[in-house]
Amino acid sequence: MSSTATQTPIDVQTLAIRGSVAAVLSALANAALLWAVLETDLVEPFMALSYPPVLFLTVASAVGATLVYGLLTRRVSDPNRTFQRLAAVVLVVSLVPDLAILVFDEAATLGAVVVLMVMHVVVAAVSVASLTRL
pLDDT tens-digit profile of 17-54? 999 999 999 999 999 999 999 999 989 888 899 999 99
Q: Is the pTM of this model over 0.85?
A: yes
Q: Chain-wide mean pLDDT for the chain?
A: 93
- The number of beta carbons lying within 10 Å of the beta carbon of residue 25 is 19
Please report which confidence band the pLDDT of residue 7 belongs to, taking 50, 70 and 90 as the band edges. Answer: low
Secondary structure class of 78 (helix, strand, coil)? coil
Q: Cβ(73)–Cβ(10) under 8 Å?
A: yes
| Mean pLDDT confidence for 112-122 | 97
Residue 2 has pLDDT above 70, yes or no: no
Residue 9 has pLDDT above 50, yes or no: yes
Query: Which of 2-14 are b and which e, b meaning 16 or more Cβ less than 10 Å from the residue's Cβ?
Result: eeeeeeeebeeee
Q: Cβ(59)–Cβ(26) under 8 Å?
A: yes
Q: How far is CA 106 from CA 101, 102, 113, in A?
A: 8, 8, 12
Residue 5: per-residue pLDDT: 47
